[in-house]
Structure 1
Amino acid sequence: MMKKIIGQSALDAFQEVVPFLKMLYPQDAAVFACDRQKYLAFEEAEGFKIGIKEGNFLKENTSEDQAIRKKEKISVNVSKEVSGIPYHAIAIPVFDQSDNVIGAVGVCLSLEYHESYQEISGRFEKAFHEVGKGVKEISASAEHLAEIGEKLSWLSKNAAEAVQKTDEIMKIIGGISNKTKMLGMNASIEAARAGQEGKGFAVVAQEIQKLSNSTQQAASDVDGIIKDMADTIESVSRETQETSAISEEQSAFAEEVSATMDELKDQLESLGQLFEELVAGTSR
C-alpha cells in the first residue's frame, strides 16, 4: 500500500523544493507541485519542454489530473508528439487530514535514450534475424553439399572398382588375342606344308590373323581409355573429398556464427530488460 502525503504544509514544502528535486534524477527531468486547479511550482527539464508555467491551470487527463481525481499514484508514458521527446510522467496525490485530495506532486522523466535504445534494439534484432536466417540457409546448403560429396565419393569408389574389374577383363581379352594370333600363325605354317591342298586352310589362317590383330588393337585402345577413366575417377574422388571437407568446415562455421548471433540476441534482450527495470524503478 502506498504511503500517503498528508497536509497543506507538505504540499507547501514540495512547492519550495521543486527547483532542487530534479537534481536527484539521473536523467533529464521536470518537477512540479499543484493544487486541484493550478500549478503551484513547475521546473522545466533542460532537454524537453512541456510548456507549463507556475499559475497555469491543470489540463484534463494529465498524470496529475488523474492522480487528483482517482486519489492514487499515476504513472504514464507520454509520446514525443506532446513535447518533441517522449517522457514518463509520475504524479502522487496529496491529502488533507480528512483524506480529501488537495493537490499533487510529480516528475516527468525523459525517455529519449530509452526510445533510441528501443529503435536501435529493433534494428539489431531484425539484423540478427536476417543474418541468423542466412547462416542457417548456408549451414543447410553446406550439409546438403557434404551429403552430395559423400555420395559422389561412394560412386567414385565403385567406379574405380569397376575399372579394376574391367582391366582384368581386358587382360583376359589380351590373352585370347595372343592365343588367336598364335593359332593363326600355326594355321599358316600348316597351310604352307599342305601345299596346294591347304589353300583353303591358308585363307582361314589369314582371317584368324586379321581377327587377332584387330582384337589386339581394340584391346590396346580400350586399355588406354580405361587408364584415362581411372585417372579421371581418381581426380574426381580427390576433389570430392576436398569439397566434402570444405563443406563440413562451412557447416561448422555457420553453426558457430548462428550460436554467436543467438548469444548476442540474448544479451540485447537482457540489456532491454535492464532499461525497462530502470524506467520502472524510477516510477516506484
Structure 2
Amino acid sequence: MHAKLQAAIDSIDFYQVTYPEDACIIVADTERVIAYKPGKKVDLKVCVGDPVDKYRGTTTEKALSSGRFIREERSTEDFGMAYIASAQPIFEGGQVIGVISAILSNEKMDHMRLLATELSSSVEEMTATNEELAKASVDVSNRLEELSRFSESMTGDIQQINAIVDLVKDLAMKSKILGLNASIEAARSGEHGRGFAVVATEIQKMSQSSTESADSITNQLESIKQAIDQVNESANQIAAFTQQFSTSMYELTDAYKGVNSTAEKLMHISEVKN
C-alpha cells in the first residue's frame, strides 16, 4: 500500500474530528474502499473492500476519476440521506493513487434554507400588504382633502345664504315699519282708511312671518355650520393620523426589505459551492 494512503488511514480519526459537524470519512485507492469511519449519525453504510465502481457517480468516485477536488450537495437517492460531500484526490508522483472524502449531513443547511425561504416569502407578503395599506391611506387622505374642500365650499355657501337671510330680515323690518305707518295713517283717515288698515295689517303679518322664517333659517344654518366644523375637525385629525400611518407603513416596508435581504444572504450562505 502506498505510504500516503496508509497515512490517510492512520489519520482518519483526526480528519473526522476536524469537522465541526458530525461526519463520516472514506479513504479509497483506485480500485476499492480501504478505510471507512462512520459518524455518530452520518453513516452511509460503506464497507471496506467495496469496489469503487459500486459508487460510480458519487463525489468520491468523480474526484478519483477526474483528479480534482470536488464538493457537492447530494440528494437522498444514493445513500438514503441528503448530504454534503467533499473529496480530495491523493497524488504520488503526479498520479492519482486514491481519494479521501468527508460526508456531512446537510440537514441544518436544508433547515436554514427552508427558514430563509419561509422568511423571505413572509416578508414579501407583509411588504405587499404594507404597500397596499400605505396606498389605501394615501387614498383616504386624498378623499379627506376632497371632503375638506367640499366643507369649505359649503361654509362659503352658508355665508352667502346668511347674507340673503339678513337682507330678508332687513326687508321684513322695513315692511313692519311700513305697516305700522300705514296703520297710523289708516287710523287718522277714519272710515275712509278702513281698507287701507286691512292692507297694513297684512303687511305687518307678512313682515312678522318673514322675520320668523329668517330666524329659523339662521338657526338651521348655524347648526349645519357647527356640524361642518365638527366634520372638518374630525377629518383633519384623521388626515394627520393617516399621514403618520402611511409614513410608518413605508418605514416598515423598508425594514421588511432589510429582513428580506438578510434572508437572501442566508440562502446564499447555505448554498454549497464547488
Cα distance in 1, alignment partners of residues 90 and 247 from structure 2: 64
Partner of residue 156, structure 2 = 161
Q: How many angstroms does 1:66 deviate by? A: 1.8
Matched length: 272
Where do 1:108-257 residues align within 5 Å? 108-257=103-252
Classify the secondary structure of the residue corresponding to 1:54.
Answer: coil
> What TM-score, normalized to structure 1?
0.88
Distance 2:77 2:194 in 1: 119
Residues 139 and 255 in structure 1, CA contact (< 8 A), matched pair in contact too: yes
Work out the CA distance in 2 between the residues paired with 1:81 and 1:159: 77
Aligned residues of 1:48 and 1:84 also touching (Cα < 8 A): no
User: What is the alpha-carbon distance in structure 2 between the residues aligned to residue 61 and residue 83 of structure 1?
Assistant: 12
The CA deviation string for residues 138-161 of structure 1, in whole angstroms up to 9 with x for no partner, is: 111111111112222222223223
- One-letter amino acid of the counterpart of residue 61, structure 1: G
Give the fraction of aligned pairs with identical amino acids, expressed as a percent: 26
Instruction: Say whether the 8 Å CA contact 2:23–2:104 is kept in structure 1.
Output: yes
Aligned partner of 1:73 in structure 2 is: 69
CA shift, 1:47, in A, is 2.3
Q: Does 1:52 align with 2:27?
A: no
- Bigger RCO of structures 1 and 2 (CA < 8 A, at least 6 apart): 2
Query: CA contact under 8 A between 2:85 and 2:104: conserved in structure 1?
Result: yes
Q: Which moved more, 1:84-93 or 1:252-261?
A: 84-93
The aligned residue for residue 30 of structure 1 is 24
Preserved contact between residue 136 and residue 254 of structure 1 (Cα < 8 Å): yes
Distance 1:151 1:174, change over 3 A: same
- Retained in 2: the 8 A contact 1:85–1:112? no
Listed as ranges, the gaps of 5+ residues in structure 2 are none
More off after superposition, 8-17 vs 229-238? 8-17
RMSD, aligned α-carbons: 2.0
1:42 aligns with 2:36: yes
The answer on 1:89 being equivalent to 2:85 is yes
Q: Is the 8 A contact 1:114 1:275 kept in 2?
A: yes
State the Cα distance separating 1:82 from its structure 2 match. Answer: 4.4
DSSP-derived class of the 1:26 partner? coil
One-letter identity of the residue aligned with 1:17: S
Q: Which runs of 5+ in 1 are unaligned?
A: 1-6
Q: Deviations over 1:234-283 (max 9, x none)?
A: 1111111111011011111111211111112222333443444xx54xx6
Q: 1:66 to 1:81 in 2, by over 3 A?
A: closer
